[in-house]
Amino acid sequence: MYSRKVMDHFTNPCNVGEIENPDGVGEVDNPTCGDMMRITIRVEEGVITDIKFKTFGGGAAIAASSMVTEPVKGKPLKETVKITNKDVAEELDGLPKVKLHCSLLAENGLKAALDDYYKKISYPYFIM
């Protein structure tokens, strides 16, 4: 049912955990299926230097969480805001149709964390 890549990310997810005193926190959930995600980020001079996630959800949700955090590390904020759930699903070699919303959770989690960071520094730009 899942691609090899999904299974790999599910078995050995990257960036699991929580950053202490993070610069941005994103907490999102999917009320329909009960999935929850919390992303914390460290930002230094406009660059995401660290990112960690915690997710309650199925295989797709955990794999998508891992996948959304991976390319973000070390990237300037400007580039990361463009990441969509489509990118995440593609990077995972596709997701079953009924699981696409799990990748949306990951996208929203990242955006919420960025949003939170922008709010903290009073930057007049919001993503959500």
Decide whether 27 or 87 has the Cβ nearer to other proteins.
Answer: 27
| Binding residue for other proteins, selected from 9, 42, 99, 111, defined by CB under 8 A | 99
Residue 14 annotated in active site = no
Question: Which residue is associated with the tokens 């973000």?
Answer: 72
Contact flag: residue 5 with other proteins (CB under 8 A):
no
In terms of Cα–Cα distance, which of 48, 43, 38 is closest to 18? 38
At 18 the three-state DSSP class reads coil
- Record the tokens describing residue 23, joined without a space: 């610069």
Q: Which parts of 56-95 interact with other proteins (CB under 8 A)?
A: 56-62
Closest CA to 73 of 105, 113, 128, 21: 113
Question: Which residues of the chain form contacts with other proteins (CB under 8 A)?
Answer: 2, 7, 10-11, 13, 16, 27, 32-38, 54-62, 98-99, 101-102
